[in-house]
Amino acid sequence: MARKESRPEVSRRKFLAGVAVAGAAASATTAKAATPGTTAADVKRLPSALPPTAHQIAAETGVPKDMPHLAGKPGSDFMVDVIKSLKIEYVYSNPASSFRGLHESLINYGKNSMPEFITCTHEENSVAMAHGYAKVTGRPQMVLCHGTVGLQHATMAIYNAWCDRAPVVVVGGNDLDAAKRPPGVPTFHSAQDINAIVRDFTKWDDTPVSLQHFAQSFVRAYKYASTPPYEPVAISLDAGIQDAPVDDPTLYIPRYTPSAPPHADLNALRETAKLLVNAEHPVIVADKMARTADGMKYLIELAELLQVPVVDNHGRMNFPNTHHLDGNAQLIRDADLILGLEVSDFWNTVNAYIDNGDEHGHGNRQSRLRPGNNTKLITISSVELLTKSNYQDFQRYQPVDIAMVGDAQASLPALIEAVRSAIPNDRKAAYEKRGEAYKKAHQQARERNKQAATLAWDASPISTARICAEVWAQIKGLDWSLNTMPGGMSGWPRRLWTMDKHYHHFGGSGGSGLGYDLPASVGVAHANKALGRFTVSLQRDGDFMYSPGAVWTAAHHQIPMLTVMHNNRGYHQEVMHVQRLSNRRNRVASLGNTSGPIGTSIEAPDVDYAGMAKSMGWWSAGPIKDPKELASTLKRAVEVVKSGQPALVDTWTQPR
């Protein structure tokens, strides 16, 4: 029963009916007054179009009677009280009639503050902005959308948030009562169960049928989203409840109490410590581990205790690239122990997949581990707490020696203590020797990276190394955050920049659904604005084209950020896929009138990204094709961003 039988003094339907009756009455009067003034000459001068009817004239000029006011407080005001109790800062939303009651309450009753309404041009943007914001702050924000068409727009972004373990509270408007909802569009936009479409990739959802139910479910949703593993949640928002008066004196807002993160089993941690301290070539692999600065701090402590190298898969910024124990995936081969921390794809960490057409076209799979090493595999991950079946984000099953279900960051302090207790005195010299070797290797790798950056240094299109070096030269003195795809631009930021704070990078989209980078960067920048941090994004062109309206949102809400376009004029992953298949089938890939295989290029015409950004209120420049123009242009762009405005520099780049 979604709608209470006791209706407010003036319900939404009665309000609409009242307007109709008043309009009809006024139109009759107006029409009567107008007719006597019409002369025969007037009739002759009439244009071929028909004169307005009395109803049309009334609609233009008639004044409806004063509307009686709703008695008492509307239900949506109480909803705002619930939302405010959780100190949610922002509602990212594209406006829609199915939540007009709550919308009105948010901006008038709630004074558009805590939360503030952020106008978005696409629901996919709304979710991605909340996703980006949450990765900076750790706090879920609210997304308000139509429960049908809006939620359908939002689904890909919700899937990204799910795969990326990002907390977002999605609220979808709906009108459950078929006997009372308006016909036509509002009924097209209603459903029995709006959350069904996202149930496979949300942590929890509910359809409250009363205000008290809403209060309980909203606080519960916020709590579940905020408990590691973070995930999106969904709440259906019924129109009838929004409009219903608050007439229940027993209504209350449940108190929110944060839940402690799940912790790995202590005995398993002690066993892990014993194996770690005795391993000759241990390696730590970290992926979506560091939720906060503490995650990086604990990982440094653990790595330094035993001088164990860390392979950062960049799902989050887990480990400083300046640290001598910052390793690379080549260390996997010789490892005799691998400890995975919130690794999304452990199978792929210890196995290689080669897309070469072997095994009946499925590609070759082989272990990365050296035969005979008998490598011990250990994981700490909270992903097993997310038991969904349909979507395959849990990846291929990898047998391991010790599997711990728990949040890795929360479990590291106990593991560190267990390691301290387990270290034999006679191993300390071996650890120091190991550390010295990694110091030398790390220094050599940094030198190699710098020399590799010189390749194609003056090329046009501009090399990704050159762009990253030029951007770094402009931002290195600032307190900055980067939002870009991990490994994007051939990983040059990681190879050239000093990245030693957990907010220097936030990982990728999670589900690799395009249309994330741009709006998520706006969300990151939105959060960074309050923290006084400079936000830079290296923006893929194909991603930008999905929903460029996010640019307008940044300008409208004065969110400063520097966007440097990685404009390689194609969907480059697909460029290579089609080329690979063409070769495998002994065919020359057909290019049409573009440089990549037909269907993979964004050329002819070239997109004017600077023009697009300028049209939506940004400072912009480009396209820049000569690398010598980069420094001066980027310098100007940085000054614009420091003044509080967004800026975009379009650069024509090498493919990767």
One-letter identity of residue 27: S
Contact in structure between 613 and 443 (CB atoms under 8 Å): no
Spatial strand order in the sheet of 141-146: 116-119, 90-93, 141-146, 168-174, 233-238, 204-206
Residue 593 lies near other proteins (rule: CB under 8 A): no
Choosing from 20, 421, 457, 598, the residue that interacts with other proteins (CB under 8 A) is 457
Which residue's CB is nearer to other proteins, number 466 or number 533? Answer: 466
Residue 622 lies near other proteins (rule: CB under 8 A): no
Which residue's CB is nearer to other proteins, number 29 or number 367? Answer: 367
Residue 231 lies near other proteins (rule: CB under 8 A): no
Residue 440 lies near other proteins (rule: CB under 8 A): no
Angle, vertex CA 468, rays to CA 462 and CA 473, nearest 5? 115
Size of the site for other proteins (CB under 8 A): 47
Least distance to other proteins, CB of residue 479, Å: 17
Question: What ranges in 62-210 are assigned the alpha helix state H?
Answer: 75-85, 100-104, 123-137, 149-164, 185-188
Contact in structure between 232 and 202 (CB atoms under 8 Å): yes
The residue range among 222-230, 264-272, 302-310, 452-460 that interacts with other proteins, by the rule CB under 8 A, is 452-460
Contact in structure between 463 and 457 (CB atoms under 8 Å): yes
Which class for 590: exposed (0-12), middle (13-18), buried (19 or more C-beta within 10 A)? exposed
Choosing from 580, 614, 625, 636, the residue that interacts with other proteins (CB under 8 A) is 580
What are the residues whose beta carbons fall under 8 Å from the beta carbon of 555, sequence distance 6 or more?
616, 617, 618, 645, 646
Which residue's CB is nearer to other proteins, number 340 or number 461? Answer: 461
What are the residues whose beta carbons fall under 8 Å from the beta carbon of 620, sequence distance 6 or more?
609, 610, 611, 613, 614, 647, 648, 649, 650
d(CA 449, CA 469): 11
The residue range among 28-36, 269-277, 379-387, 469-477 that interacts with other proteins, by the rule CB under 8 A, is 469-477
Choosing from 53, 61, 583, 590, the residue that interacts with other proteins (CB under 8 A) is 583
CA dihedral of 422, 423, 427, 428, whole degrees rounded to 10: 180
The residue range among 32-40, 284-292, 486-494, 635-643 that interacts with other proteins, by the rule CB under 8 A, is 486-494
Residue 451 lies near other proteins (rule: CB under 8 A): yes
Residue 44 lies near other proteins (rule: CB under 8 A): no
Total residue length of the chain:
656
**Widest pairwise Cα distance in the chain:** 115
Least distance to other proteins, CB of residue 459, Å: 5
One-letter identity of residue 266: L
Contact in structure between 394 and 355 (CB atoms under 8 Å): no
Residue 596 lies near other proteins (rule: CB under 8 A): yes
Least distance to other proteins, CB of residue 588, Å: 5
Which residue's CB is nearer to other proteins, number 358 or number 432? Answer: 358
Q: 507 in the Ramachandran plot: left (φ > 0), alpha (ψ -120 to 50) or beta?
A: left
User: How far apart, in Å, are the Cα atoms of 597 and each of 575, 590, 638?
Assistant: 6, 5, 36
Which residue's CB is nearer to other proteins, number 139 or number 495? Answer: 495
What are the residues whose beta carbons fall under 8 Å from the beta carbon of 224, sequence distance 6 or more?
203, 204, 231, 233
Residue 654 lies near other proteins (rule: CB under 8 A): yes
Which residue's CB is nearer to other proteins, number 117 or number 571? Answer: 571
Residue 626 lies near other proteins (rule: CB under 8 A): no
Choosing from 262, 478, 589, 614, the residue that interacts with other proteins (CB under 8 A) is 589
Choosing from 185, 455, 531, 604, the residue that interacts with other proteins (CB under 8 A) is 455
Residue 496 lies near other proteins (rule: CB under 8 A): yes
Residue 333 lies near other proteins (rule: CB under 8 A): no
Least distance to other proteins, CB of residue 469, Å: 5
DSSP for 205-246, written as a single string: EE---SHHHHHHHHHHHHHHHHSSSP--EEEEEEHHHHHSB-
Choosing from 192, 389, 586, 593, the residue that interacts with other proteins (CB under 8 A) is 586
Residue 579 lies near other proteins (rule: CB under 8 A): yes
Which residue's CB is nearer to other proteins, number 210 or number 601? Answer: 601
d(CA 288, CA 380): 11
**Bridge partners (DSSP) listed for residue 310:** 284, 326
The residue range among 11-19, 55-63, 153-161, 577-585 that interacts with other proteins, by the rule CB under 8 A, is 577-585
Residue 293 lies near other proteins (rule: CB under 8 A): no
φ, ψ of residue 591 to 5 degrees: the values are -95, -15
Which residue's CB is nearer to other proteins, number 29 or number 573? Answer: 573
Residue 584 lies near other proteins (rule: CB under 8 A): yes
Token pair recorded at residue 435: 């550390």
Compose the 334-373 pattern: x for residues touching other proteins by CB under 8 A, - for all others: --------------------xxxxx-----x---------
Residue 530 lies near other proteins (rule: CB under 8 A): no
Q: 595 in helix, strand or coil?
A: coil
Least distance to other proteins, CB of residue 354, Å: 6
Residue 587 lies near other proteins (rule: CB under 8 A): yes
Residue 563 lies near other proteins (rule: CB under 8 A): no
The residue range among 308-316, 317-325, 390-398, 648-656 that interacts with other proteins, by the rule CB under 8 A, is 648-656
Residue 178 lies near other proteins (rule: CB under 8 A): no
Residue 491 lies near other proteins (rule: CB under 8 A): yes
DSSP for 289-324, written as a single string: --SSHHHHHHHHHHHHHHT--EEE-SSS--S-TTST
Residue 328 lies near other proteins (rule: CB under 8 A): no
Helical (H) or strand (E) element with 92: strand 90-93
Which residue's CB is nearer to other proteins, number 262 or number 357? Answer: 357
Least distance to other proteins, CB of residue 606, Å: 16
Residue 487 lies near other proteins (rule: CB under 8 A): yes
Which residue's CB is nearer to other proteins, number 509 or number 553? Answer: 509
Please state, as a whole number, how many other Cβ atoms lie within 10 Å of the Cβ of residue 289.
29
Least distance to other proteins, CB of residue 577, Å: 10
Angle, vertex CA 493, rays to CA 490 and CA 497, nearest 5? 145
What residues make contact with other proteins under the rule CB under 8 A? Answer: 354-358, 364, 450-457, 459, 461, 463-465, 469-470, 472-473, 476, 487, 490-491, 496, 572, 575-576, 579-580, 582-584, 586-589, 591, 595-597, 654-656
